[in-house]
Structure 1
Amino acid sequence: MSLKELIPGRLGFGTAPLGNMFRAIPEEEVSATLEAAWDQGIRFYDTAPFYGAGLAELRLGELLSQKPRDSFVLASKVGRVILDESEPGARDLGEKGGLFEHGRPNAMLHEWTADATERSIEGSLKRLGVDRLDIVWVHDIAQDFHGDLWLNKFEEARTGAFRVLSRLRDEGVIKAWGLGVNRVEPIELTLDLDEPQPDGFLLAGRYTLLDHARPLERLLPKAQEQGVGMVVGGPYSSGVLAGGTHFEYQDAPPEVVERVRRIKELTTRHGVSVKAAALQFSLAHPVAVAAVPGATKPSRIAEDIAALHEDVPAGFWTDLRASGLVSPAAPLPNGA
């Protein structure tokens, strides 16, 4: 099943922040945010064992386990098996070192083998309190976590996770699978394979107003040719396009801050919100099926929905293109 057929609406809910990313989030704040998302019609939820060592899945499960299973679409990821014992000391997470330092202390097995894939799905179902996942992403087999060893992890996933997920899809246990990564190279490699193909991919932070040139070169044309859909993760570039200070999960460097300033000048001139510009840009590519921004406050849900539907004048997109702030190859809304 194609992602476009499977995913309801163009806006989902990304749960990475619910794993206590960057800060410890009170339970009442989490519950209020999830209830707001449900009450305002969000029916696509994306999570992962990695987010707070299972914390995000547990929190999401508090909501979804109480809802009719056919009333929402649920995606989680494989690549980390959450263990019962605690992990002493700081985690080795490549470039994402302190990302979930406020999450659960449980140790994680980082493995993309067939056995670990089965165990990962079993653990996710238990934490979420549901009987099935709709979409399963193969998580983080890229340079940002593994450096020069990333191709070894990719091969582990190719012979393990990819084959398990292809079988589960063929058996009807899941409806779709793909990669969930922060880099384009693993997806490009996967689309070139002469074996069962993924239905789509979750690309985080790589198709945004601030960073989109690389996937336009090869990945997105190939995905379009093969009918493979993209879910846009991190459409606000870790928050810097939504009033925050993070880019790529770290403090935004001066050149990014300057680029955001120039974008804000244009949005102010045209009376447009930065969130609307960012979200609508990410969804303008024909391969893009949906976006899954994260949120930890109920008010953010209403902001995201408003941004999706905001009337952005064609002149804004024309000026954005003329300013050199977007790639000449990037499709813009309304054919601008």
Structure 2
Amino acid sequence: MAFRAALRPLRPGSGGSAATAATSSSGLGCAPIGNLFTPVADGDAEATVGHALERGLRFFDTAPHYGEGVSELRLGRALAGVDRDSVAIATKVGRVIVDADGAPVPTGGTGGPGGTTVGDLSRDGVLRSLEGSLARLGTDRVDLLYLHDPADVDEALRGAVPALLELRDQGVVRAVGVGMGRNAPVARLVRESAGALDVVMPAGRVTLLDRSALDDLLPAARERGVGVIAAGVYNSGVLADPVAAPFFDYHPASPEQVDRALRMAAACDAAGVTLAAAAARWPLRVPGVEAVVVGARTPAEVDVFADASDAAVPDHLWATLDAIARPGA
């Protein structure tokens, strides 16, 4: 499968050890170093990426939307001097960066104060977006290119998807896919792209609390041989720390969601496992899910994710967490 090949660096890196994170199933999400929720200093962002390399992580996921280009720029700077063939990079298209006046930024630029991104699912929009990403990342290729949250599936099928396939055929990217937080549009793209996609990345829909992708999207992906990467495994906070970060999909979590997360945290504590570790590990138990991407803004947060791969999770804990997750539990 092209997806599996895209996750593997062309040449193994020298960082990490046998006891660190499993590079075949772990990736660093780089939205936080694009100032998601709170600002991150340039040096701290570089330290986070550097520590991920030290812990054995070799797959990095970013997007123009993350900080209006800041995440890509910082990731590119942090990886400068690192053997390009020793890492795998994913980024996204389908949105273009504009400045505070709504004008497209120069190739390789960032949105700056007041900047944002706007949807563009045209072929030219895809090519222009990728050109800017390559410039910010300081590379001539990406390993995995996603269509990012397409608002109109029909438009995506007409313009963006053929452009993705063209880029893959040219060798500019190794694999293509769709990343989104809603299941139905992604499932439709999987079904109607004639099996051309390599991977889907459901964000927040394959988690301890939200398992909705298991109903339709994952069966569609398995049927067509499409790989699955789980992202948003903390549902933006409540599954990392339901007390300090009671957020679900970037909004305050409901009382029921917080209650379930607190009960899960108590069960994890009793088993000697953190809720964050269980949340990062659980998606890999789902048939069809082959990798997990978790965001981090500090080296300490990288350690939480990386340590999860070594945590011993007893079977009875999984059964308890599954029971808490059931409706009406």
Q: Same fold (TM over 0.5)?
A: yes
Deviation at 1:159, TM superposition (A): 0.8
Which deviates further from its counterpart, 111-120 or 28-37? 28-37
Aligned to 2:276: 275
Aligned to 2:223: 225
Deviation at 1:226, TM superposition (A): 1.6
Does residue 13 of the first structure (1) align with residue 28 of the second (2)?
Answer: yes
In the alignment, is the contact (CA less than 8 A) between 1:61 and 1:128 conserved in 2?
Answer: yes
Aligned to 2:58: 43
After TM superposition, the score normalised by the length of structure 1 is 0.85
In the alignment, is the contact (CA less than 8 A) between 1:82 and 1:123 conserved in 2?
Answer: no
Opposite residue 77 of structure 1, the aligned amino acid is K
Q: Go from structure 1 to structure 2 and tell me whether the alpha carbon gap of 1:280 and 1:59 turns closer, same or farther (over 3 Å shift).
A: same
Does residue 236 of the first structure (1) align with residue 245 of the second (2)?
Answer: no
Secondary structure of the residue that 2:179 maps to in structure 1? Answer: strand
After TM superposition, the score normalised by the length of structure 2 is 0.86
Aligned to 2:155: 156
Structure 1: which 5+ residue stretches go unaligned? 89-101, 142-149, 328-336
Give the Cα–Cα distance (whole angstroms) in 1 for the partners of residues 193 and 277 of structure 2. 39
Opposite residue 128 of structure 1, the aligned amino acid is L
Secondary structure of the residue that 1:257 maps to in structure 2? Answer: helix
Give the Cα–Cα distance (whole angstroms) in 1 for the partners of residues 280 and 204 of structure 2. 12
Deviation at 1:105, TM superposition (A): 3.1
CA displacement 1:143-179 (0-9 Å, x = unmatched): xxxxxxx4xx221211111001111212222111110
Structure 2: which 5+ residue stretches go unaligned? 9-23, 103-110
Secondary structure of the residue that 1:179 maps to in structure 2? Answer: strand
What is the number of equivalent residue pairs in this alignment?
A: 301
Deviation at 1:195, TM superposition (A): 3.2
Secondary structure of the residue that 1:134 maps to in structure 2? Answer: strand
In the alignment, is the contact (CA less than 8 A) between 1:32 and 1:297 conserved in 2?
Answer: yes
Secondary structure of the residue that 1:292 maps to in structure 2? Answer: strand
In the alignment, is the contact (CA less than 8 A) between 2:153 and 2:189 conserved in 1?
Answer: no
Does residue 252 of the first structure (1) align with residue 253 of the second (2)?
Answer: yes
Does residue 55 of the first structure (1) align with residue 70 of the second (2)?
Answer: yes
More helix by percentage: 1
Deviation at 1:19, TM superposition (A): 1.4
Q: Go from structure 1 to structure 2 and tell me whether the alpha carbon gap of 1:11 and 1:103 turns closer, same or farther (over 3 Å shift).
A: farther
Does residue 119 of the first structure (1) align with residue 119 of the second (2)?
Answer: no
In the alignment, is the contact (CA less than 8 A) between 2:264 and 2:324 conserved in 1?
Answer: no
Give the Cα–Cα distance (whole angstroms) in 1 for the partners of residues 90 and 113 of structure 2. 21
Give the Cα–Cα distance (whole angstroms) in 2 for the partners of residues 282 and 239 of structure 1. 16
Give the Cα–Cα distance (whole angstroms) in 2 for the partners of residues 324 and 239 of structure 1. 18
Opposite residue 248 of structure 1, the aligned amino acid is D
In the alignment, is the contact (CA less than 8 A) between 1:182 and 1:203 conserved in 2?
Answer: yes
Does residue 105 of the first structure (1) align with residue 114 of the second (2)?
Answer: yes
Give the Cα–Cα distance (whole angstroms) in 2 for the partners of residues 258 and 317 of structure 1. 18
Aligned to 1:24: 39
Give the Cα–Cα distance (whole angstroms) in 2 for the partners of residues 68 and 194 of structure 1. 34
Aligned to 2:197: 198
CA displacement 1:87-120 (0-9 Å, x = unmatched): 47xxxxxxxxxxxxx9753353421100000000
Aligned to 1:86: 100
Give the Cα–Cα distance (whole angstroms) in 2 for the partners of residues 205 and 17 of structure 1. 16
Deviation at 1:5, TM superposition (A): 3.2
Give the Cα–Cα distance (whole angstroms) in 2 for the partners of residues 187 and 109 of structure 1. 20
In the alignment, is the contact (CA less than 8 A) between 2:207 and 2:234 conserved in 1?
Answer: yes
Give the Cα–Cα distance (whole angstroms) in 2 for the partners of residues 64 and 127 of structure 1. 11
Deviation at 1:324, TM superposition (A): 4.2
Secondary structure of the residue that 1:138 maps to in structure 2? Answer: strand
CA displacement 1:235-258 (0-9 Å, x = unmatched): 111121112222101222211110
Percent of residue pairs bearing the same amino acid type? 39
Give the Cα–Cα distance (whole angstroms) in 1 for the partners of residues 274 and 146 of structure 2. 31
Deviation at 1:319, TM superposition (A): 2.6
CA displacement 1:177-228 (0-9 Å, x = unmatched): 110100111111012216352001111111100101x211121122112211
Give the Cα–Cα distance (whole angstroms) in 2 for the partners of residues 82 and 34 of structure 1. 23
Q: Go from structure 1 to structure 2 and tell me whether the alpha carbon gap of 1:246 and 1:165 turns closer, same or farther (over 3 Å shift).
A: same
Give the Cα–Cα distance (whole angstroms) in 2 for the partners of residues 87 and 284 of structure 1. 46
